[in-house]
Amino acid sequence: MLDPQAQALLQLMKDRGVAPVHTLTPTQARQYARDRRTYTQPPPPQLADVREHTITHGAVSFAARSYHPEKNPSHALPALLYLHGGGWTIGDLDTHDVLCRSLCEQAHGVVISLDYRMGPEHKFPAAYEDTIAGYDWCIQHAKQLGIDPHRIAVGGDSAGGNLTAAACLGLKGSAIEPCFQLLIYPAVTMRPDTPSYHANGQGYMLTQDSITYFTNNYLAKDADKDDWRASPIFASDHTHLPPAFVLTAGYDPLKDEGYMYADVLSKAQVATQYVCFERQIHGFITMGGILQEANTAVSLCAQTLKHAWNRKK
């Protein structure tokens, strides 16, 4: 059964005639995402310190924001590099500010959120390249950030989960690999054809039309769909990846591919936990102001992060 609070949200959107995202321009869709957070998200937790940064690699520069649970910690803290969701098209540091603050507060680690380049202005693999650059930047600036470079997890929701999975594949064998991957209803294939894609593809926030819209904004050509950096599930080797926590939603068209990716990781001997919030819709974790189960999911992610960091001490 669909969560009554989620059902009420979907009905309200229908009653108010909210335009489907795939009918909007990217600029309109981005503004809608920024506006929506004011009534779907809980109040932002107050933290000891929040800092703004600029990350540069080559000729590219983009913004980042770090969240700190302590002003002057006596020892290096663990960290989470966070990639926001939004179909590689919408979302920014502000749309996921409350979530990052909550994870920082509850997990007691530094969270670094990236404002990576998005489509359609910046096509694949720009977002992936920014993710790798962001991870390298965290290691290079570990002392200034007050973090332990050997305890950096990577995480994200939806498109951010896609970038997380791809980055962990791309960083395999690097001098300092991520210690953990947090995958929140991740998009792991650009060729979706699962039962949940068809069963949940209409009427539950994220639709088949919006998935096509986001994919077309992100990718430059059809062949990109088969690149593991865009479709992490297509990678030839999933062994020796960081331990993973995969969270999905029961009424999400991406549910089955998240489950399948958890299964692929487990079969590759990667320590993997999988949890499905059976009554929820795609995007629910950033709606804690109106969906109570969102706050439960945030707390679960924070506890999982803490355990992962503690194992690396």
Residue 196 has pLDDT above 90, yes or no: yes
For the chain, how are helix, strand and coil distributed in percent, rounded to 5? Answer: 40, 20, 40
Q: Could you give phi then psi for residue 279, rounded to 5 degrees? A: -95, 5
Q: State the chain's mean pLDDT as an integer.
A: 98
- The confidence band for 11, taking pLDDT boundaries of 50, 70 and 90, is very high
Percent of residues, the chain, with pLDDT higher than 70? 100
What pLDDT score was predicted for residue 169? 99
CA atoms within 13 A on the CB side of 45: 21
Neighbours of 84 (CB within 10 A): 27
Active-site residue, selected from the candidate residues 66, 113, 158, 210? 158
Active-site residue, selected from the candidate residues 53, 122, 238, 282? 282
Q: Helix or strand or coil: residue 106? A: helix
The structure tokens 């896609």 sit at 162
Can 282 be counted among the known catalytic residues?
yes
Active-site residue, selected from the candidate residues 92, 157, 252, 256? 252
What pLDDT score was predicted for residue 313? 73
- Residue 297 to residue 247: CA distance in whole angstroms: 8
**Distances, alpha carbon 63 to alpha carbons 73, 113, 115, 152, 190, in Å:** 24, 9, 5, 19, 27
Can 158 be counted among the known catalytic residues?
yes
- Residue 212 to residue 214: CA distance in whole angstroms: 6
pLDDT, tens digit, 9 for 90 and up, residues 33-66: 999 988 899 999 999 999 999 999 999 999 999 9
Q: Partners of 183 in the beta sheet?
A: 156, 246
Strands 147-157 and 272-277, how do they pair? unpaired
Structural domains of the chain ordered from first start: 4-311 (3.40.50.1820)
Residue 212 has pLDDT above 90, yes or no: yes
pLDDT, tens digit, 9 for 90 and up, residues 262-274: 999 999 999 999 9
